[in-house]
Structure 1
Amino acid sequence: MHDHETERLASYADILAGELPGTWTSALLSPDVKDDLAELADRIWDLDLIAALLAEHPLHQAALLSRPDGAQLVILDRHDEREGFLIAAVAPRALPDHAYRAVPEPNGIALEGDDPFLSAKLVTGDLLVRYDSALAQARHNALSGIEPSQSDRVVLTWQPDGSFATAPVDDRAHAVLVANGFVQDPPTGIYRLSGDDTRAQAHALRTLGPQLDALGIGTALRHAVGRTAPTAAPASMPPAPAGPRTPTTRAR
């Protein structure tokens, strides 16, 4: 691969990352990192255009776009006479096989021409919509009791060990959750708020609601199977569990 083609891919990816909604970073995977490229190729979430390409052209280089919530997109060379690139969604590394059952593949798309600004509009209105939906459903399938969130709502699921868990699909929600004590498991994208300190947990939940609401994101509470409903809190806030409890094995 010629150096100028590699530089062209890297530059295109940098600009595209800056034009997509939310916070994205880009990284170039050069031909030297063969193992990383092979592992990435196995995680490309596509059974259509990209799968057909990879069957004929093993991944030689790629640009990887990453979002703080664990979402990733990969930009590939087209290997034809046309200008532009291909872009595909990447499946999370650590989700179990059953998480993908009945989840439609968010198949990749072709980015015609060499204009990352126009490409960003296409990716935002097409691939990202399907990818975020598939991600939410896969994360829901991976962890029983977690209901998939939507871009305008964060669903908090109260777990048997007293923690709260959620799988948001919005980059804005990621920042608010982390600021309020939720810890993300990067391989799966699941966020958890520990229940070890119920006072701190209740305070985090009361703070979380208004912050999300200010962004136009609602909150909803769901109870894991077998739990008794927690003590009700003000209507605008997700209710928090009351009273001391002894932590048990963390739900998986």
Structure 2
Amino acid sequence: MHDHHDASERLASYADVLAGELPDTWTSAHLPSNAKDDLAELAERIWDLDLVAAHLAEHPLTEAAVLSRPDGAQFAVLNRHDSRESFLIAALAPHALPDEAFRAVPEPNGIALGDDPFLGAEQIAGDLLARYDRALAQTRHNALAGIRSSEPDRVVLTWQLDGSIATVPADDRASAVLTAHGFVQDPPSGLYRLSGDDTQAQARALRAIGPRLDALGIRTALQHPAGRSAPTAAPTSPPPVPAASRSQAVRSR
């Protein structure tokens, strides 16, 4: 217990220093071993097919520190099991974007860091951070391109695998209508998203926004994956859950 406690303290302290030394503004949060749900979700978002992925294949994630930037960028800092005094850092995939946004985007694979967090911050700033920012920019561009219509007076509502619906409003008038009917904007991506947690509420919102947008001269279109149908007032079953995680479905290309 004492050794494990010491390792956790080192990880948390190391991540705190990294957060203060990286360019821009970063915060650090420690996920201890008892935060099992958060750690499981974090492991699914590790954006890596190289060093960190190989490490996690042998050593399941039991704790981590998460560095976060206000625009949604995040890193996971992990202890290395082959050396008590060194760490791994990996980029985290943004969870607000559809799987298709990640296709053809190279993974910003993580790197190993020594025990000096000041040197570690220099390594990150000089290599990983730039690759991560490029990958983030590309995925966000892909997400917007996949949803935005080329017609200025048209809103394309795109059904996501998690049951939510995402769109990019044609203008401020459309934004106001969407917001009034439960759509919430995700600032990092620019997408407006309607949750699928309550399918009846989702169906009512979809029926309501069509006439309101049409009155403004803005047409609507609904895109959904094969096998999906538009929600009804009395759905017979809940929205399907993806059979594979983003990391499995998208990265194995």
TM category (shorter chain) comes to 0.5 to 0.7
How big is the shift at 1:94? 2.3
1:162 to 163, 166, 171: 171
Give 5+ residue unaligned stretches, structure 1: 148-158, 165-182, 194-244
Alpha-carbon distance between aligned partners in 2 of 1:20 and 1:55, rounded to the nearest angstrom: 28
Change in 2 beyond 3 A, CA 1:82/1:17:
same
**Which structure 2 residues correspond to residues 45-194 of structure 1 after superposition, within 5 A?**
45-81=47-83, 83-112=85-114, 114-144=115-145, 161-163=170-172, 185=186, 189-191=188-190
Name the CA shift for 1:249/1:17 in 2 (closer, same or farther; >3 Å): farther
Shift in alpha-carbon separation, 1:102–1:27, aligned structure 2, 3 A: same
Question: Which structure dedicates a bigger proportion of its chain to helix?
Answer: 2
Shift of 1:81: 2.9
Secondary structure of the structure 2 residue equivalent to 1:87? strand
Residue 53 of structure 2 corresponds to residue 44 of structure 1: no
Alignment match of 2:19 (pick from 17, 20, 29): 17
1:32 counterpart letter in structure 2: N
Deviations 1:214-239 (A, max 9, x none): xxxxxxxxxxxxxxxxxxxxxxxxxx
- 1:52–1:250 Cα change, 3 Å: same
The alignment's TM-score, normalised by the length of structure 2, stands at 0.61
Shift of 1:146: 8.7
Residues 119-147 of structure 1 show CA distances to partners (whole Å, capped at 9, x for unaligned) of 11100010000000000001111122799
1:163 Cα shift? Answer: 4.3
Aligned residue type for 2:118: F
Deviation, structure 1 residue 248: 6.0
Aligned residues: CA RMSD: 2.7
TM-score by length of 1: 0.61
Q: Give the AA of the match of 1:191.
A: G
Q: Is the 8 A contact 1:161 1:250 kept in 2?
A: no
Residue 33 of structure 1: how far off its partner (Å)? 0.7
1:184–1:119 distance in 2 versus 1, CA, 3 Å: farther
Structure 2 unaligned regions, length at least 5: 149-167, 174-183, 193-215, 224-253
Letter of the 2:13 partner, please give it: S
Deviation at 1:191, TM superposition (A): 3.4
Aligned 8 A contact 2:46 2:93 in 1:
yes
Query: How far does residue 250 in structure 1 lie from its aligned partner after superposition?
Result: 10
Shift of residue 247, structure 1, vs aligned partner? 6.0
Deviation at 1:32, TM superposition (A): 0.5
Task: Mark the CA change 1:131 to 1:11 in structure 2 (over 3 Å): closer, same or farther.
Answer: same
Distance between the aligned counterparts of 1:163 and 1:22, measured in 2? 30
- Return the letter of the residue paired with 2:141: H
- Letter in structure 2 aligned against 1:19: E
